[in-house]
């Protein structure tokens, strides 16, 4: 295997994103106020080297071996998620959660990151092993379990941001496997019903519209009944469920709707993030010069809210460059998934695309109040060892898929 | 898996591509809205986040006397302020400050209290720091986060205590001032005039505040003193020129006897105030940069009440100087002429009903005309004159002559004099049949009774006597627009009254204060004081034939007007004859030599010839003689 045979587009885009991320992380440490973000770019650089090495190793592993290993990996990651629920520790702003695995007092990683990749592999293995794409709810039962178990374990930590990523991965891969969109919509409908249940009129309208759609689409009668009942049930449990949410989760949802309601506490992140981004204007204040970041008005500026630094210091122009790089990454992954030699490789690549996309859209979206705030890192930008290594592993997988298809002379389509 | 034939994959890939591009556009749109469309709003929020405005104190306008001598000016000073994110860190920094410069606990409490009132503003630690303090703090800036040292113009009153009540003082505006809207245009931290001229002409003197910005971080800590934001320079206040003669003002302060409370006012017959002095006095410079809590307490709790301006804020019985008002009323009404004798000669008292109203002089004055009665301050003459006028006429003419109104001087907080509007006042006060009109008339005739006047208001009446019979409102900067009060006397009558006043000094009750080189006219008085020794009055003007200056003074517990007369005459001589003739500026303890009631030696009658006090002295002389 010669590195010259690597997929060029993916190579340049991922190198570009990693460089952009490291530079932004360097800027995050340049403040007038002492913060613990001061030296993180250097540590991230170490992780960068480790990650590249890990990606290189994965690149050399055959997809067939991974397909064979998938159940073991999946079981191992589930076991880790179970262990972490018992002995896990919190970190950073989420001290009370159980998301970190520690050995001898050293935090060695977040098992949920590994579980994401393991779930992608396991789901790809299951879906590619089927003769036909799932056509009914019954067919979706197994995929639902494969995703649902790690999803619930992560949700229990509690880590809503990572849990959402599992949903994103599931929908992306089911779609790529050929599940009809209307079935996916029906699967998603109880969730929408839950969201809309907070307003009686909206929920009423939703139920009328949804019932009409069911009548028009004529799915399996069993599926329709189950989904319709689930929608009604979600409407009924919305309020009790809301009351069971942690107060900080309630606040995040509320402040998403109206950040000014509590500007000092819950809405602080949402407001300060937009202030930093908005003050950037067209061209920003200049690299490392952003006053909101320098004076520590921007919270979590090296982890979840690293992207507003781009907005403040490099302006709309810098944001467009970053978003275009991400779009280019997604399109490159999409191209690799299309050209993959086999359905397993294709599904893995598309699962990785789903993983990256969920992270990027949720993280970038929450900085401009487009999405509610959840603790979710931005690939290649946010500081964090295990996440960066997982991202590198994913890229290594994608490079391998691309290499395989090139080796087999799979036509460009 | 048959879902992966190339047609199906291409179809799905197209959908996926559009979803990705759509998501990219949604995110781009959100950033375009935030960064471009709402840029101004967020830019402003970002700046309010990090920039704190600091007011820049404008230099106050200078105050000059009529010759351009400086009464109040500005000198460079330093203020030391602290910007703190919260109370605890403020206390911590103050504790560190305490290592370098003295700072006692009451000061710390006060600073923390001020901080609580405006948490986002730097709090003043030393409003008027010395250069040494600034240097020491600057040296240790590294351990004093949030230290803001500003160079500010600070007020200086070169004559200090001599001009205190005249010029007033300045200090930081209080919250109650602001909520009451007392100082239009002032904000928290503004320096405003709190008394005297500084208060009255604050709008002119204050000027407009400027502003500069400092940069703070998210925890409210000072990061940069020089923020890259525009600075608005302050607008200096405008100067004012007063009618004051600073030399005379200082002279009065220097000659004023130690420990004596009272007031002295000098003005021209046209109403220009040349000096306005109240004792005891205080140092207005102590208020600059914030008066210490201890000194403020001391000033307020001192039973001598040094902050009280006794020239305009204290009412005294007008006593014998009021006899001139009675004489003016009678002359105006044509009841008497200047040479009219009263039916009963003075035999040391006068019987009314079953009571005897005594003259201050037991032996009696005999039969006197008006000039003689004024000169010797004969009570019996004025009793009869008052009865001839009648109480209604006294009350009515007194109101016309302004004894019920403020003098109208351009100083805040002048108190109203007390004078009845009509005789119905007595009915209300005592009940219709519980007061005796003739007895009240007799009291009013000699300036006692329900009639108390401020020094400045009595001065306005004598200003009319010294001038052309019209008394304009006294003023320090701008003459009041109101019409002068007319005493309603003909020039001959005025001239006659002046002659009577000259006689007071030439050979009457104040003859001890006579000097050959300056003809002074004036009137002594002794205000009966139920709370202690009587108060002494003297109001005089000179030169007697063509008056240039009217000077009036009162000394509390001075027992009689002859005590005050020498001081007034001295002030007149200083102003008219100049410093060479008037003698050195330091004269002290004159009071103790001349008017000690314990002095048992018999005194010549002409030395202490005034009503109640003189009588008391005569009594004591008699007692001293009796054992022999």
Q: Which residues of A touch B12 (CB under 8 A)?
A: 175-176, 178
Residue A35 lies in a domain: yes
Q: What is the average pLDDT value for chain A, to the nearest integer? A: 85
Residue A1's pLDDT is: 47
Whether residue B223 and residue A282 make contact (CB cut-off 8 A), yes or no, is no
Q: Is residue A39 part of a domain?
A: yes
Confidence of residue A319 (pLDDT cuts 50, 70, 90): very high
Three-state DSSP state, B100: helix
Contact flag B36-A337 (C-beta cutoff 8 Å):
no
Q: Alpha-carbon distance B89 to B108, whole Å?
A: 13
Quote the number of domains for chain A: 1
Domain presence at residue A53? yes
This complex has an ipTM of: 0.91
Confidence band for B611, pLDDT divided at 50, 70 and 90? very low
The mean-pLDDT minimum among A274-283, A290-299, B443-452, B518-527 falls in: A290-299
DSSP letter (8 states) at residue B37:
I
Instruction: Name the residue in chain B with its Cα closest to that of A324.
Output: B24
In a domain, A402, yes or no: yes
> Is A413 inside a domain boundary?
no
Go through chain A and tell me how many residues it has.
413
Residue B596 has pLDDT above 80, yes or no: no
Contact: A275, B46; criterion CB under 8 Å: yes
Give the whole-angstrom CA distance, residue B46 versus residue B30.
Answer: 19
pLDDT at B609 over 50: no
Q: Which domains does chain B have, with CATH numbers?
A: 52-242 (3.90.1310.10), 255-625 (3.40.710.10)
- Per-residue pLDDT at A399 exceeds 50: yes
Picking from B3, B21, B32, the nearest residue to A133 by CB comes out as B3
Q: Which residues of B touch A296 (CB under 8 A)?
A: 217-219
Mean pLDDT confidence for B555-580:
84
Q: Where does the pLDDT of residue A398 fall: very low under 50, low under 70, confident under 90, or very high at 90 and above?
A: very high
Segment B125-133 mean pLDDT: 84
pLDDT one-digit tens code per residue, B429-480? 888 888 888 888 888 888 888 889 999 999 999 998 888 888 889 999 988 7
Whether the bond between B280 and the residue before it is cis, its omega within 30 degrees of 0, is yes
Supply the pLDDT for residue B586. 47
pLDDT greater than 80 at residue B548: yes
**Is the per-residue pLDDT at A241 higher than 50?**
yes
Closest Cβ opposite residue B35 in set A181, A311, A331: A311
Report yes or no on A98 lying in a domain: yes
With an 8 Å Cβ cutoff, the interface of chain B facing chain A consists of 1-4, 6, 8-10, 12-13, 15-17, 20-21, 23-24, 26-28, 30-36, 38-39, 41-43, 45-46, 49-50, 215-219, 221, 223-224
- How far is the C-alpha of B195 from the C-alpha of A381, rounded, in Å? 64
Look at residue B305 and tell me whether its pLDDT is greater than 80. Answer: yes
Q: Distance (Å, rounded) from C-alpha A236 to C-alpha A231? A: 9
pLDDT of A391 higher than 90? yes
Flag whether pLDDT at A33 surpasses 70. yes
On the 0-12 / 13-18 / 19+ scale of CB atoms within 10 A, A135 is middle
Question: What's the pLDDT score for residue A108?
Answer: 66
CA angle A303-A308-A309, nearest 5°?
A: 85
Q: Do A292 and B1 touch (CB under 8 A)?
A: no
Averaged pLDDT for residues B166-182: 87
Q: Taking CB atoms and an 8 Å cutoff, what residues of chain A touch B42?
A: 274-275, 277-279
Structural domain contains residue A379: yes
pLDDT tens profile A38-75:
788 888 899 999 999 999 999 999 999 999 999 999 99
More reliable by pLDDT, B50 or A318: A318
Residue closest to B222 by CA, chosen among B81, B339, B102: B81
Give pLDDT, residue A106. 61
Shortest CA distance from B36: residue in chain A: A281
Per the DSSP assignment, residues forming a β-bridge with B356 are B351
> Residue B628's pLDDT is what?
38
Interchain contact, A295 vs B6, CB within 8 Å:
no
* Mean pLDDT, residues B584-609: 34
Q: Which two tokens stand for residue A206?
A: 């939703």
A–B CB contacts, 8 A cutoff, strictly below:
147
Residue A175 contacts B where some CB pair is shorter than 8 Å: yes
Q: Which domain holds residue A397?
A: 3-407
Look at residue A412 and tell me if it is in a domain.
no
Q: How confident is the model at residue A132 (pLDDT cuts 50, 70, 90)?
A: confident
SS3 content of chain A, % helix, strand, coil (to 5): 70, 5, 25
The pLDDT score that the predictor gives to residue A348 is 94
**Residues of B whose CB is below 8 A from A129:** 1
What percent of chain A stands above pLDDT 70? 90
CA A378/CA B534 separation, integer angstroms: 91
Among B217, B20, B36, which Cα is nearest to A368's? B36
CB contact under 8 A, B23 and A176: no
What DSSP assignment string belongs to A265-311? TTTHHHHHHHHHHHTTTTT-S-TT--HHHHTT-STTTTTTT-HHHHH
């Amino acid at each position: 295997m010669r590195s010259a045979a690597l997929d060029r587009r993916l190579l340049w885009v991922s190198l570009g994103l990693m460089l952009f991320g490291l530079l932004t992380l360097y800027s995050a440490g340049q403040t007038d106020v002492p913060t613990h973000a001061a030296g993180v770019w250097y540590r991230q650089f170490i992780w960068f080297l480790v990650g590249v090495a890990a990606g290189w190793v994965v690149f050399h592993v055959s997809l067939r071996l991974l397909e064979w290993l998938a159940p073991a990996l999946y079981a191992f990651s589930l076991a880790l998620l179970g262990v972490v629920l018992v002995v896990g520790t919190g970190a950073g702003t989420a001290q009370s959660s159980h998301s970190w695995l520690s050995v001898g007092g050293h935090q060695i990683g977040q098992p949920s990151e590994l579980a994401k990749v393991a779930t992608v592999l396991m789901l790809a293995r299951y879906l590619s092993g089927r003769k036909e794409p799932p056509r009914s709810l019954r067919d979706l039962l197994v995929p639902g379990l494969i995703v649902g178990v790690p999803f619930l374990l992560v949700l229990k930590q509690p880590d809503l941001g990572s849990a959402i990523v599992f949903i994103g991965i599931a929908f992306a891969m089911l779609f790529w496997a050929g599940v009809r969109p209307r079935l996916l919509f029906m699967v998603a409908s109880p969730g929408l019903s839950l969201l809309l249940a907070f307003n009686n009129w909206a929920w009423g309208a939703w139920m009328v519209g949804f019932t009409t759609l069911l009548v028009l689409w004529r799915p399996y009668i069993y599926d329709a009944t189950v989904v319709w009942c689930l929608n009604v049930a979600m409407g009924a449990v919305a309020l009790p469920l809301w009351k069971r949410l942690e107060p900080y989760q309630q606040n995040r949802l509320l402040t998403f709707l109206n950040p000014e309601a509590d500007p000092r506490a819950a809405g602080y992140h949402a407001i300060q993030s937009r202030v930093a981004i908005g003050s950037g204007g067209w061209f920003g204040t200049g690299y490392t010069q952003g006053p909101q970041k320098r004076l520590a008005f921007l919270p979590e500026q090296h982890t979840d809210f690293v992207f507003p630094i781009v907005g403040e210091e490099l302006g709309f122009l810098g944001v467009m460059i970053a978003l275009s790089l991400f779009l280019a990454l997604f399109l490159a992954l999409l191209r690799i998934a299309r050209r993959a030699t086999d359905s397993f490789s294709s599904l893995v690549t598309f699962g990785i695309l789903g993983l990256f996309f969920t992270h990027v859209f949720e993280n970038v979206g929450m900085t401009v109040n487009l999405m509610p705030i959840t603790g979710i890192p931005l690939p290649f930008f946010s500081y964090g060892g295990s996440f960066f290594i997982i991202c590198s592993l994913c890229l290594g997988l994608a490079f391998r898929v691309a290499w395989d298809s090139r080796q087999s002379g799979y036509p460009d389509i | 898996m048959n879902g992966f034939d190339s047609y199906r994959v291409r179809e799905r890939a197209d959908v996926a591509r559009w979803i990705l591009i759509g998501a990219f556009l949604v995110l781009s749109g959100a950033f375009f809205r935030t960064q471009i469309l709402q840029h101004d709003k967020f830019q402003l929020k970002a700046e309010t986040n990090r920039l704190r405005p600091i007011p820049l104190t404008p230099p106050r306008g200078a105050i000059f006397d009529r010759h351009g001598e400086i009464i109040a000016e500005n000198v460079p000073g330093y203020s030391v302020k602290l910007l703190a994110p919260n109370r605890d860190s403020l206390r911590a920094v103050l504790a560190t400050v305490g290592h370098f410069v003295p700072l006692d606990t009451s000061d710390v409490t006060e600073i923390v209290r001020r901080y609580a009132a405006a948490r986002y503003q730097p709090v003043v630690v030393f409003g008027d720091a010395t250069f040494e303090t600034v240097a020491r703090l600057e040296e240790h800036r590294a351990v004093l986060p949030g230290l803001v040292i500003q160079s500010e113009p600070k007020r200086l009153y070169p004559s200090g205590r001599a001009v205190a009540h005249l010029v007033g003082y300045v200090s930081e505006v209080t919250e109650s001032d602001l909520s009451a809207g007392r100082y239009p245009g002032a904000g928290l931290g503004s320096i405003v005039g709190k008394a005297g001229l500084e208060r009255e002409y604050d709008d002119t003197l204050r000027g407009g505040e400027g502003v500069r910005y400092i940069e703070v971080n998210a925890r409210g800590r000072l990061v940069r003193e020089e923020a890259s934001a525009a600075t608005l320079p302050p607008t200096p206040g405008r100067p004012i020129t007063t009618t004051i003669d600073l030399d005379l003002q200082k002279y009065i302060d220097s000659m004023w006897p130690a420990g004596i409370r009272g007031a002295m006012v000098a003005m021209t017959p046209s109403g220009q105030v040349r000096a306005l002095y109240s004792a005891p006095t205080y140092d207005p410079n102590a208020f600059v940069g914030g008066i210490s809590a201890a000194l403020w307490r001391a000033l307020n709790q001192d039973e001598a009440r040094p902050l009280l301006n006794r020239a305009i804020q204290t009412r005294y019985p007008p006593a014998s100087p009021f006899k001139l008002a009675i004489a003016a009323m009678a002359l105006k009404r044509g009841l008497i002429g200047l040479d009219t004798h009263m039916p009963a000669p003075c035999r040391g008292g006068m019987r009314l009903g079953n009571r005897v109203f005594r003259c201050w002089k037991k032996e009696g004055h005999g039969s006197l005309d008006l000039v003689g009665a004024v000169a010797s301050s004969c009570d019996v003459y004025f009793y009869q004159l008052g009865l001839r006028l009648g109480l209604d006429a006294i009350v009515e003419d007194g109101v016309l002559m302004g004894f019920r109104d403020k003098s109208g001087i351009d100083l805040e907080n002048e108190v109203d004099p007390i004078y009845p509007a009509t005789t119905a006042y007595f009915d209300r006060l005592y009940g219709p049949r519980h007061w005796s009109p003739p007895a009240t008339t007799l009291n009013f005739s000699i300036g006692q009774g329900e009639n108390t006047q401020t020094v400045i208001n009595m001065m306005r009446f004598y200003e009319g006597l010294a001038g052309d019979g019209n008394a304009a409102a006294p003023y320090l900067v701008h003459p009041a627009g109101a019409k002068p009060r007319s005493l309603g006397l003909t020039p001959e009558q005025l001239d006659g009254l002046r002659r009577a006043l000259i006689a007071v000094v030439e050979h009457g009750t104040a003859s001890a204060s006579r000097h050959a080189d300056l003809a002074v006219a004036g009137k002594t008085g002794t205000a009966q004081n139920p709370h202690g020794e009587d108060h002494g009055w003297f109001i005089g003007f000179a030169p007697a034939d063509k008056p240039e200056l009217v000077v009036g003074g009162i000394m509390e517990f001075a027992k009689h007007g002859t005590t005050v007369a020498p001081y007034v005459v001295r002030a007149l001589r200083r102003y008219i004859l100049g410093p060479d003739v008037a003698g050195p500026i330091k004269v002290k303890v004159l009071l103790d030599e001349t008017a000690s009631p314990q002095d048992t030696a018999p005194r010549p009658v002409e030395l202490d010839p005034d009503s109640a006090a003189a009588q008391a002295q005569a009594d004591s002389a008699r007692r001293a003689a009796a054992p022999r």
